[in-house]
Amino acid sequence: MKFTLSWLKHHLDTDASVDLITETLTDLGLEVEGVENPAAKLADFTIGYVESAEKHPDADKLRVCQVQTRDGLTQIICGAHNARAGITVVIASPGTYVPGIDTTIGVGKIRGIESYGMMCSEREMELSDEHDGIIELPSGEVGQSFTDWLAAHQPDKVDPVIEIAITPNRPDALGVRGIARDLAARGLGTLKLVTVDPVPASFTADLNVTIADDTRDGCPVFCGRLIRGVKNGPSPAWLQTQLRAIGLRPISFLVDVTNWFTYDLNRPLHVFDADKVQGNIRVHRAKGGETIVALDDKTYTLQPGQIAISDDQGVESIAGIMGGAATGCTEDTVNVFVESAYWDPIQIAYTGRALKINSDARYRFERGIDPAFTPEGLEHAVRMIVDHAGGEASELIITGEVPDTSRAYRLDAQRVISLVGMDIPESTQRQTLTALGFHLEGDMAHVPSWRPDVQGEADLVEEVARIASLTKLQGKPMPRMQAGVPKPILTQGQQRQQAARRTMAALGYNECVTYSFVDQQAAALFGGGDDATKLENPISSELSHMRPNLLPALLRAAARNQARGFMDMALFEVGAGFHGGEPGEQHNLITGILIGKTASKEVHGTSRAVDLYDAKADAESVLAAIGAPAKVQILRGAADWWHPGRHGKICLGPKKVLAVFGELHPKVLREMDIKGPAVGFTIWPDEVPVPKSKTTTRPALVATDLQAVERDFAFVVDADVEALTLVNAAMGADKALISDVRVFDQFIGGNLGEGKKSLAVTVRLQPTTATLKDADIEAVSAKIVDKVTKATGGTLRG
């Protein structure tokens, strides 16, 4: 919403400065988005008087002028054809910035003669495009500020334009008058009385307006007057200037009047060229399919239930949103029908949204204009039209009734103080509401018809608080609900996510935060991409489906980094995957990916390609950090985006999967444009069981002084025998004595033969009662060999 200072002063009697007004508007909730103050950039220009002007000895077109200025008689070289003795001019002294030529004036020599300033044209000061010589003022004192002279003689040239943002609850502030009312309530001036002297009726219009029965809720009241014999044409200068100042293009007087009242009193109006209206006017709901070419020259097809204004030929206006081109007023219009109606905001909102029309009328009607003002608003417009364009006006045509919006809410002064936390005396509260147009009866506040947003006691609190000024609010300490040392507040899930993040970063992974939506192709590769997780209105096809898990977006990120030349990376994300489109169909995930080498080529030769055992180690570290048990099973059979032979599920039983690690399927990687293999893992942190014991006490440390003994064994087994089977078998040989079994070598093929491998383990024996003797070691070794042989079908390697 834009308006000028002089327009505001049409409604508000005030001496307040622009700065104070804008500051106050923002504080009142009418946030100032911008102020264009033409005076600001002209502040340094002053008035001078040319005493003499002689031809420059070395240039035909230049004149050496002696000018009376603020600083005394000053020499200025000027090239303008009208530079001559005896004229009053505008001076930019050295140091003054001239906006039109984007230059700060300095002292200079022009063709060998010094010049101490510049005499300016209107264009140089960005006042207009006028550049036919320098300005010659009809009056003005030497040394006087040019902006002061403009304010006194051409105020519209220095009229500040203020733009404010209007929150949806304040339709009343979509008119300059509403803004003035707020400022007056704050004490920044007095609201001027605006009345209208209705044009007496000279005839009864031969025009019938009906509202269909099923349309009364959408159009409770429709008013109009026919004016015969007007002379349309350009608007008077003041009206054109005001409209231009707020960015509207003057069209013709009749149209400009409707636009002006839209902004002045928040009263949208429509003017029909009465000669183009055939027969009677009908307000009704569309059957659907009717078309209309609107004033924006676009054709709209109405949907069933939308409200139209029709004559005998068909639809002539989209009610409350935009008029039709066919019956629009032109320069030639002589008979005009002026419409002022009240349209239901919800009706307008839905129709406007459906037809995708953004007009000043829709914007106002959908927020809610003052229904009670419908007939009076019309009288304002008719008065202005007849006063300027002549003609005679018909009797008022009024169909329907102004809807009764009267209501009252209790002003509880104590409650206001309690909610706001500011000591606002009851008398001040009452005064505020009165100034805003509320009518108080006892403690009941009757709401003015222009405030549809006020729907309860809480709204009264808001009005009192904002007029009192929230800027003045002083903070008041809010003690904790319980005194003392605060208790921990994170849930276990939150703690796990935090621990996982910190662990991943410590392991050298860079945390990413990727969009929760990915493209359908990527989602489908990872088990998603169905309609349940589809967005109805994505901003692009790249972001069309909720991600089933974190891998697709992380791999896309990896591909982008590869394209930038970074081939080695460790990325992770902690966040939600979506397994459906219902609230709650999301699950927390921790995913890491490793691509390329452990490091770039380097002097110590440690750099090597990452493999699934890196991913496994990191998955185990994170699981340990979030409190997963150490004893787990490793199973196969994870989803098909993993390499079928190179992945494992970390499980507690076949149905309790805590994590998956492995190599990504090469086909999936190709589809995702990843160069080279990639490994990774996904953890489901909420699957990790809650530890049963809540005690902080740890079991006592058992550390015997007896010497532990380590023995190595190598077994030849079939190549598909898993190491964990062998380790578990060895562990089971003597649970009391064997404290650890570690695989330390794997050898495949060679002289072992096809399909065979050797696995070597170190078994650590930790006695607890007596030192081990050779016989004890022999005995347990035999048991180990026996158990492993039975479990794996392998043999002890000779």
Task: Tell which residue, 425, 26, 2, has the closest CA to residue 188.
Answer: 26
Q: Which of 514, 420, 423 lies closest to 463 in space, CA to CA?
A: 420
Give the C-alpha distances (Å, rounded to integers) separating 450 from 189, 369, 407, 520, 611. Answer: 21, 6, 12, 49, 71
Closer to another protein at the Cβ: 603 or 770?
603
Q: Which is closer to another protein, CB of 454 or CB of 780?
A: 454
Minimum CB distance to another protein, residue 170 (Å): 7
Smallest distance from another protein to CB 443, Å: 17
Smallest gap, in angstroms, from Cβ of residue 691 to another protein? 21
Q: Encoding tokens for residue 115?
A: 């010049």
CB of 557 to another protein, least distance (A): 3
d(CA 155, CA 29): 28
**Which is closer to another protein, CB of 350 or CB of 684?**
350
Q: How many residues does the chain have?
A: 798
Q: What is the largest CA-CA distance in the chain?
A: 131
Q: How far is the CB of 194 from another protein (least distance, A)?
A: 25
- Dihedral over Cα of 551, 554, 560, 564: its sign: negative
Q: How far is CA 294 from CA 276, 280, 300, in A?
A: 15, 20, 7
- Closer to another protein by CB, 73 or 535: give it: 535
Which CB sits closer to another protein, 425 or 749?
425
Residue closer to another protein (CB basis): 537 or 693: 537
Query: Is the backbone of residue 266 left (phi > 0), alpha (psi -120 to 50) or beta?
Result: left
Report the C-alpha gap between 770 and 768 in whole angstroms. Answer: 6
User: DSSP assignment, residue 568?
Assistant: -
Contacts of 624 (CB under 8 A, 6+ apart): 630
What is the nearest approach in angstroms of another protein to the Cβ of residue 93?
28
Q: Please, which residue, 557 or 634, has the CB nearer to another protein?
A: 557
Measured from the CB atom, the residue of 398 and 470 that comes closer to another protein is 470
CB-nearer residue toward another protein: 48 or 171:
171
CB of 515 to another protein, least distance (A): 5
The pair phi, psi for residue 569, each rounded to 5°, is: -155, 155
- Nearest distance, CB of residue 450 and another protein, angstroms: 16
Q: Nearest distance from residue 742's CB to another protein, in Å?
A: 24
- The enclosing H or E element of 376 equals helix 374-389
Under 8 Å between Cβ of 49 and 89: yes
Cα 231 from chain centroid (whole Å): 47
Cβ nearer to another protein, comparing 44 with 426: 426
Cα–Cα distance for residue pair 600/568, rounded to 1 Å: 7
* Residue 442 beta carbon to another protein: minimum distance, rounded to whole angstroms: 21
Contact (Cβ atoms closer than 8 angstroms) between residue 273 and residue 328: yes
Q: How far is the CB of 319 from another protein (least distance, A)?
A: 16
Taking the C-alpha atoms of residue 746 and residue 727, their distance in angstroms, rounded to an integer, is 13
Q: From CA 662, how far away is CA 186, in angstroms rounded?
A: 68
Whole-number Å distance between alpha carbons of 107 and 120: 16
Nearer to another protein, 96 or 544 (CB): 544
Nearest approach in angstroms of CB 514 to another protein is: 6
224-259 burial by CB neighbour count: b if 16+ within 10 A, else e?
A: bbbbbebebeebeeebbbbbebbebebbbbbbbbbb
Nearest to another protein of 203, 515 (CB atom) = 515
